[in-house]
């Protein structure tokens, strides 16, 4: 197995030494879910590069949104973003630094959809929230002098799953987005992938975490045959250019690879960008892992080019 980046290894060792539990440890009770959310928010504050500005928080949309304006506006594109956290963690202000970085690097306004979290709101509520937030953002693009014909989608982890579904919905309405950025996505609830076994322990996201968050999101729903859960199994033809970023030491690595391959087979301009020495969650490690910061900068540059192509 490839060795982790030295700064990633040091971060993981620090968390191990102080006894940090797995991300979804104890989430079988409401109290455990609340504790996991607090732990996750604290870890992100410890590792992410601080935000350059605060968002405008709007509660009058169909779903709460957080509007991030770039420090320097260089694009009239509009980006709709969905955060990670296994559909369970990461709501509110937790991902503000990540979304603001996306706005600053692309020069575009970013509307971060603060979708409802599981297990209080299970599938398909978070997906519906992202779709509603996207529709609202398109209707209000003029409020930010953005071009609704130049909308891009971005998401990481669970958020990447949700925006992949939103990209399919826009394609079905014959209005595909101009570009999509999916960072370590979980695109398939039905497949079995070797990377879950290979990278399932000691690398931040564990195999047990993958199972736990999936159960919290699904509840009693079956994933079989539902492309809203598994966009990899949808007809992918007609989607806009898509960047799929994976981490080499991530349980989700092989599913991300498979999604990029399926997109390419469907004739989509798909760009697989694998970061061999990084782990799941590197989008939030930009303050302490230079290799993660460089990876994010490169992904954002490529995404910005799609928005203006």
- Per-position DSSP letters for the chain, written without gaps between them: -PPPPHHHHHHHHHHHHTTPPPTTTTTTSHHHHHHHHHHHHHHHHHHSPPPSSPPEEE-SSSS-EEEE--SS-----EEEEE--STTTS--TTTTHHHHHHHHHHHTSEEEEE-PPPTTTS-TTHHHHHHHHHHHHHHHTGGGGT--TTSEEEEEETHHHHHHHHHHHHHHHTT---SEEEEES----SS---HHHHHT-SSSSS-HHHHHHHHHHHHTT---TT-TTT-GGGS--TTPPPEEEEEETT-TTHHHHHHHHHHHHHTT--EEEEEETT--TTGGG-TTT-HHHHHHHHHHHHHHHHHHH-
Distance between CA atoms of 55 and 119, rounded to whole angstroms?
A: 26
Q: Are 248 and 275 in contact (CB under 8 A)?
A: yes
C-alpha 221/C-alpha 92 separation (Å) is 26
How far CA 109 is from CA of 1, 2, 32, 150, 189, in Å, comes to 39, 37, 35, 11, 32
Active site residues: 157, 250, 280
* CA gap 207, 145 in Å, rounded: 44
């Amino acid at each position: 197995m490839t060795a982790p980046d030295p700064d990633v290894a040091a971060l993981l060792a620090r968390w191990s030494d102080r006894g940090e539990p797995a991300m979804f440890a104890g989430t079988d009770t409401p109290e455990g879910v609340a504790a996991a959310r607090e732990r996750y928010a604290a870890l992100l504050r410890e590792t992410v590069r601080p935000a350059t500005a605060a968002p405008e928080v709007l509660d009058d949309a169909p779903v709460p949104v957080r509007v991030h304006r770039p420090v320097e506006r260089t694009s009239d594109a509009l980006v709709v973003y969905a955060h990670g956290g296994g559909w369970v963690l990461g709501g509110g202000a937790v991902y503000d630094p990540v979304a603001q970085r996306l706005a600053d690097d692309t020069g575009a306004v970013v509307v971060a959809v603060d979708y409802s979290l599981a297990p209080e709101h299970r599938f398909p509520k978070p997906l519906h929230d992202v779709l509603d937030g996207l529709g609202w953002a398109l209707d209000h693009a003029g409020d930010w002098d953005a071009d609704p014909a130049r909308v891009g989608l971005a998401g990481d982890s669970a958020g990447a799953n949700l925006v992949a579904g939103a990209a399919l919905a826009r394609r079905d309405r014959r209005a595909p987005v101009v570009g999509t950025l999916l960072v370590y996505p979980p695109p398939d609830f039905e497949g079995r992938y070797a990377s879950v076994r290979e990278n399932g322990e000691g690398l931040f996201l564990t195999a047990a975490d993958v199972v736990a968050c999936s159960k919290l999101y699904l509840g009693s729903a079956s994933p079989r045959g539902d492309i809203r859960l598994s966009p990899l199994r949808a007809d992918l033809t007609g989607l806009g250019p898509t960047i799929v970023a994976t981490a080499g030491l991530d349980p989700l690595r092989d599913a991300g690879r498979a999604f990029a391959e399926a997109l390419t087979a469907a004739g989509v301009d798909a760009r697989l960008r694998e970061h061999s020495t990084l782990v799941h969650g590197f989008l939030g490690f930009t303050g302490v892992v230079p290799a993660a910061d460089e990876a994010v900068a490169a992904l954002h540059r490529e995404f910005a080019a799609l928005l203006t192509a």
